[in-house]
Structure 1
């Protein structure tokens, strides 16, 4: 069983299926294959990583890469075939898809990969720079249509996920009877027990104790912090409330 980190970028166009949805579909397909070989399959959560927005960088709406970690008995060739087949089938005609696959057990310079990811949030990077680093680190990086410009974001997304301090988890979470129709309180312990979330953090980085109470309101969304999937919360009177849409925009 190996751990793989997989990231895609630039698969969509206005009015088409989003890159995050395609990443979730790929994760599901890979998990289906894994389920044929073992009884237990860990859920893959996709993280969205915001990259630099600049006139010199073509993007659809937000310029973000989508990344997920996979624990699997599948070998590299099978994993890549499933990824590429789905990218070719689902990517928008006008898109420039890129795919990065990292064997997390391999020897690679994690600091160099993280540095590339962080730089891609602030500066314009090139395909040549991405391929050069991928070759140096032994990461499989490939393009699957258009200009292939998405390889930059795909590689950067790996680095940002590995930093453990970047990204918003795609989608929203259902907790117990909470369905957005009415606000409801949960303890931290309840939240961690009934969801894939691993930690509850204040917007200042404080780890909340199990007995702290959280008022859930609106959509319940998570971020990737301290190498964990975290519910971000803000002060609300004497208690806490899940972070607002405005707060989450920074992620």
Structure 2
């Protein structure tokens, strides 16, 4: 069994299937029989006029535990990308074998740079070649290889990314929200921790008020629910808190 990080970028267009949904489908196709599909994390990249993107310029990444070899993984992922990506998109695919030796710091630095600067395809390919990352483009300009490689670095960084989809524990059906303990939240969601916006980890007995849309994040190398203190109680993070991820 080997561990892989897989990231895709720039597969969609306005009114088409989103990159996150395509990433989830690829994850499902690659999972060993009976295994739980891994969570996909969304990583925000630099928004700039020189960078073509659909709406937000974000890459989608997931970790895979599999007995499959690189070529088999790539073949399945590429086939699905070609079938599902929008005609006007510029898909990129990056695959990293986590069981090999590579310079993780260089990959993290690339990911962080892609959040604040315009990066070129040659820069991406040069780094991928140096680190042994499988990086490939599958349509259009292939510009998505930049985001795909950056997404790997940001996932390795361990302090970036929102989990695709929402956490619904019944709060959306109740106008005033619901109260659950940290222990209950972790048990019902499979998340690793509940973390305050200042980075503190909450005790299992602490109570949280959950209201409206609840999002999980990737923080401190774990999947977590982000919360903040409001009027003497813990509440799920608001959009302004989640922006940091």
Residue 195 (1) aligns with residue 189 (2): yes
SS in 2 for 1:186: strand
The answer to whether the 8 Å contact 2:171/2:210 transfers is no
- Correspondence for 1:130: 124
Listed one character per residue, the Cα deviations across residues 114-167 of structure 1 (whole Å, up to 9, x for unaligned) are 000000001110000000000000000000000000000000000000000001
Q: What are the ranges of 5 or more consecutive residues in structure 2 without an aligned counterpart?
A: none
Distance 2:241 2:189 in 1: 21
Alignment of 1:141-180 (within 5 A): 141-175=135-169, 178-180=170-172
- Correspondence for 1:49: 43
Residue 250 (1) aligns with residue 244 (2): yes
SS in 1 for 2:173: coil
Distance 1:249 1:133 in 2: 28
> Between Structure 1 and Structure 2, how many residues are aligned?
243
Alpha-carbon distance, 1:77 to partner:
1.4
Distance 2:239 2:131 in 1: 37
Residue 236 (1) aligns with residue 230 (2): yes
Alpha-carbon distance, 1:179 to partner:
4.6
SS in 2 for 1:162: helix
Alpha-carbon distance, 1:44 to partner:
0.4
Q: What are the ranges of 5 or more consecutive residues in structure 1 without an aligned counterpart?
A: none
Distance 1:136 1:83 in 2: 23
Distance 2:24 2:96 in 1: 17
The answer to whether the 8 Å contact 1:42/1:71 transfers is no
Query: Bigger CA drift: 3-12 or 239-248?
Result: 239-248
Distance 1:114 1:208 in 2: 28
Distance 2:10 2:55 in 1: 10
The answer to whether the 8 Å contact 1:143/1:149 transfers is yes
Query: Bigger CA drift: 193-202 or 151-160?
Result: 193-202
SS in 2 for 1:247: helix
Distance 2:184 2:233 in 1: 15
The answer to whether the 8 Å contact 1:224/1:230 transfers is yes
Residue 213 (1) aligns with residue 201 (2): no
Residue 104 (1) aligns with residue 98 (2): yes
